[in-house]
Chains A and B, each alone.
Chain A
Amino acid sequence: MSIELIIGILNIVLISTTPLVFAGIGELVTEKSGVLNLGLEGLMLVGAVTGFITLVITGNYFYSLFLSIISGVILSGIFAFLVLNLMTNQIATGLALTIFGIGLSAMLGKKFGGTPIDGLNPYYFIVISFLLVFFVAYFLSKTKTGLIVRAVGENHNSAYALGYNVIKTRYLTIIFGGVMSSLAGYYISICYAPMWQEGMTAGRGWIALALVVFATWKPWRLLVGAYIFGGVAIMQMNLQAIGVKLPGQFFNMMPYLATIIVLVFISSNKLRLKLSAPSSLNIPFEKNQ
Chain B
Amino acid sequence: MQSIVEFKNIHKSYPGVIANDDVSFKIREQSIHAILGENGAGKSTLVKILYGHVKPDSGEILINSDLAIINSPSTAKNLGINMVFQHFSLFESLTVAENLILGMNENISLTRLKKKSKTICDKYGFNLNLNSPISSLSVGQRQSVEIVRSLLNSPKILIMDEPTSVLTPDEISKLFIIIKNLVKDGLTVIFISHKLEEIINLSDYVTIMRNGKVVSTITTQNEDPETLGYKMLGYKVSKAKQVSDINFSEEILNIKNLSTQSKDPFRINLNKINLNLKKGQIFGIAGVAGNGQKELMEILLNENDYEFSGDIIFKDSNINDLSTFQRKSLSISFVTEERLGHSAVPEMSLSENIFLSMNHKSEFKKGDFINFEKINSYASDVIKNFNVDTPSFNVKAGKLSGGNLQKFIIGREIMSNPELLILSQPTWGIDAGSEAFIKKTIVELSQKGVSIIIISHDLDELLEVCHRISVLYEGSLSNPLNVENINITKLGKYMGGLFD
Q: Say whether, besides A161-B85, A274-B93, A147 and B54 are in contact (CB < 8 Å).
A: no
In the complex, 23 of the A-B residue pairs with CB atoms within 8 angstroms, ordered by the A residue number, are A144-B107, A147-B94, A147-B98, A148-B102, A150-B91, A151-B94, A154-B93, A154-B94, A155-B89, A155-B91, A155-B92, A157-B89, A158-B90, A160-B73, A161-B83, A161-B89, A163-B74, A270-B264, A270-B266, A271-B264, A271-B266, A274-B92, A275-B93
Q: Say whether, besides A163-B72, A270-B266, A274-B93, A147 and B101 are in contact (CB < 8 Å).
A: yes
Cα(A288)–Cα(B73), bound, Å:
12
Nearest chain A CB to B335 CB, angstrom units: 26
Complex contact B264–A154 (CB within 8 A): no
Contacts of A269 in B (CB 8 A): 264
Asked whether B53 is an interface residue with its Cβ less than 8 Å from the other chain, the reply is yes
Nearest chain B CB to A266 CB, angstrom units: 13
> What 0/1 readout, one digit per residue, does chain A (260-289) give for beta carbons within 8 Å of chain B?
000000000111001100010000000011
Q: Closest B residue to A270 by CB, please name it.
A: B264
Cα(A160)–Cα(B51), bound, Å:
12
> What 0/1 readout, one digit per residue, does chain A (157-186) give for beta carbons within 8 Å of chain B?
111111111000000000000000000000
Sample of 5 further A-B pairs with CB below 8 A, known A150-B94, A164-B102, A288-B54: A144-B107, A155-B90, A163-B72, A271-B265, A289-B54
Contacts of B48 in A (CB 8 A): 288
- Total contacting residues, chain B, CB less than 8 A: 28
**Most B CB atoms within 10 A — which of A162, A164, A271?**
A162
Cα(A158)–Cα(B266), bound, Å:
20
Contacts of A164 in B (CB 8 A): 74, 102
Q: Say whether, besides A155-B89, A288-B53, A163 and B94 are in contact (CB < 8 Å).
A: no
Interchain CB contact (< 8 A) of B89 among A148, A158, A274, A279: A158
What is the interface of chain A mostly: helix, strand, loop, or mixed?
A: helix
Contacts of B77 in A (CB 8 A): 163
Tell me how many residue pairs across A and B have CB atoms closer than 8 Å.
67
Complex contact B73–A289 (CB within 8 A): no
Those 6 A-B pairs whose CB atoms lie nearest each other, nearest first: A163-B74, A158-B89, A163-B73, A161-B89, A154-B91, A271-B265
Contacts of B98 in A (CB 8 A): 147, 151
**Most A CB atoms within 10 A — which of B53, B73, B93, B266?**
B93
Asked whether B76 is an interface residue with its Cβ less than 8 Å from the other chain, the reply is yes
Size bracket of the A interface: 20 to 34
Q: Closest B residue to A158 by CB, please name it.
A: B89
Interface residues of A (CB under 8 A from B): 144, 147-148, 150-151, 154-155, 157-165, 269-271, 274-275, 279, 288-289
Cα(A75)–Cα(B98), bound, Å:
34
Contacts of B89 in A (CB 8 A): 155, 157-158, 161-162
What is the interface of chain B mostly: helix, strand, loop, or mixed?
A: loop
Cα(A286)–Cα(B54), bound, Å:
12
Contacts of A150 in B (CB 8 A): 91, 94
Nearest chain A CB to B269 CB, angstrom units: 14
Contacts of B264 in A (CB 8 A): 269-271
Nearest chain A CB to B394 CB, angstrom units: 27
Q: Closest B residue to A276 by CB, please name it.
A: B93
Asked whether B28 is an interface residue with its Cβ less than 8 Å from the other chain, the reply is no
Complex contact B266–A161 (CB within 8 A): no
Nearest chain A CB to B85 CB, angstrom units: 6
Cα(A29)–Cα(B77), bound, Å:
28
Nearest chain B CB to A153 CB, angstrom units: 10
Contacts of A155 in B (CB 8 A): 89-92
Q: Closest A residue to B72 by CB, please name it.
A: A163
Contacts of B265 in A (CB 8 A): 271
Cα(A49)–Cα(B6), bound, Å:
60
Cα(A160)–Cα(B53), bound, Å:
8
Contacts of A270 in B (CB 8 A): 264, 266
Contacts of B55 in A (CB 8 A): 289
Complex contact A162–B103 (CB within 8 A): yes
Q: Would you list which residues of chain B between 92 and 112 have a CB under 8 Å from chain A? A: 92-94, 98, 101-103, 105, 107
Complex contact A279–B266 (CB within 8 A): no
Complex contact A162–B102 (CB within 8 A): yes
Nearest chain A CB to B398 CB, angstrom units: 16
Cα(A155)–Cα(B102), bound, Å:
12
Q: Closest A residue to B107 by CB, please name it.
A: A144
Q: Say whether, besides A147-B102, A163-B76, A158 and B135 are in contact (CB < 8 Å).
A: no
Contacts of B76 in A (CB 8 A): 163
Cα(A148)–Cα(B102), bound, Å:
7
Complex contact B73–A144 (CB within 8 A): no
Nearest chain A CB to B321 CB, angstrom units: 25
Nearest chain B CB to A279 CB, angstrom units: 7
Cα(A227)–Cα(B179), bound, Å:
56
Cα(A157)–Cα(B88), bound, Å:
10
Contacts of B73 in A (CB 8 A): 160-163
Q: Closest A residue to B108 by CB, please name it.
A: A144
Contacts of B53 in A (CB 8 A): 160-161, 288
Q: Closest A residue to B90 by CB, please name it.
A: A158
Interchain CB contact (< 8 A) of B266 among A157, A165, A274: A274
Cα(A271)–Cα(B263), bound, Å:
10
